[in-house]
Amino acid sequence: MRTAFYVSDGTALTSEAFGHAMLSLFPLKFKHRTLPFIDNQDKAQRCRHIINQAYQEDGIKPLIFHTFVNTEIKNIVTSSEGISYDFLDHFVEPMEAELGTAAQPKTNRTHGIHQDYNFRIDAVNYTLANDDGISTKDYHEADIILIGASRTGKTPTCLYLALQYGIKAANYPITEDDMANLDLTYDLKMHRHKLFGLTIDVERLQSIRQERRANSTYASLEQCQKEISKIENLYRQEAIPFLNSTHASVEELAAKIMDEACLERHRY
């Protein structure tokens, strides 16, 4: 199997994003290897050696997706036996022409601490303090409040919204009590413009709950069916926008919620 390398003088997150996007276009399997913080010539030599070794072991030239600022370091890495893809290189010149400014590359430019960094950490802290309905008194600060049955993906989605976009995302589990009279609690009603629902296919919910509490009422198909049907009715009755999380990743759920709820991305 061919090896794909993601190499950078920084975190290599950009190289990974670039490489994964390219490779996902092809129906092939690769071994993946990330080599971050290659920021001096010694490390670059070692990196070159690792790439050449992969060539020997695989019997096929590795691919190298890289983003480097320092050309000497870059030249050492690209002098290896790997096939080199450098997406910055290709776009820098046309962008310089369009922007009328020379590029001024700095290491750790993309994923270093920005001005709004504290904002994201505050959002993570908010999200943890308002996870799973543990507190409802700070909903006035929330950017969004996800609601839904237990195990529909609320917590990971909220954490992703906070970490990636600096969104203060609370979440509240709708329980038997709330469903009995098919109503929203007072705290939720007071912030209904911030509510966003999650739902999930019943079979999927049952299998997730079964893993948590095998053979409980909580994990029974009947219980899951009852909850999902009542909760979806509640969403419709209250005109709460909602998404089905069954086939969506946290990235997709977060991006869809941001889009549908018109939330501003704070990261940049």
Give the C-alpha separation, 146 to 131, whole Å: 10
Can you tell me which of 39, 79, 87, 119 binds a second copy, judged by CB under 8 A? 87
Give the C-alpha separation, 19 to 119, whole Å: 29
Please report how close the Cβ of residue 233 comes to a second copy at its closest, in angstroms: 26
Q: Select 177 or 259, whichever has its Cβ closest to a second copy.
A: 259
Q: Select 100 or 177, whichever has its Cβ closest to a second copy.
A: 100
Q: Does 88 bind a second copy (CB under 8 A)?
A: yes
Give the C-alpha separation, 248 to 128, whole Å: 22
| 3-class state of residue 126 by DSSP | helix
Give the C-alpha separation, 259 to 86, whole Å: 31
Can you tell me which of 46, 57, 71, 95 binds a second copy, judged by CB under 8 A? 95
Give the C-alpha separation, 46 to 208, whole Å: 44
Please report how close the Cβ of residue 259 comes to a second copy at its closest, in angstroms: 5
Q: Select 145 or 159, whichever has its Cβ closest to a second copy.
A: 159
Can you tell me which of 27, 186, 193, 262 binds a second copy, judged by CB under 8 A? 27
Can you tell me which of 42, 93, 141, 251 binds a second copy, judged by CB under 8 A? 251
> Could you report how far apart the first and last alpha carbons of the chain are, in Å?
38
User: Annotation-wise, does 246 bind a ligand?
Assistant: no
Q: Select 191 or 204, whichever has its Cβ closest to a second copy.
A: 204
Nearest to 235 by CA among 194, 183, 168: 183
User: Annotation-wise, does 155 bind a ligand?
Assistant: yes
Strands 83-85 and 144-148 come out as unpaired
Contact pattern from residue 111 through residue 140 relative to a second copy, giving x for each residue in contact according to CB under 8 A and a dash for the rest: xxxx--x--xx--xx--x--x---------
Give the C-alpha separation, 51 to 76, whole Å: 11
SS3 for 13-82 is HHHHHHHHHHHCCCCCCEEEEEECCCCCHHHHHHHHHHHHHHHHHHCCCCEEEEECCCHHHHHHHHCCCC
Residues binding a second copy (CB under 8 A): 10-14, 17-18, 20-22, 24-28, 32, 34, 36-37, 61, 63, 67, 83, 85, 87-88, 90-92, 94-95, 98-99, 101, 103-105, 108-114, 117, 120-121, 124-125, 128, 131, 153, 155-156, 159-160, 163, 247-252, 254-256, 258-259, 265, 268
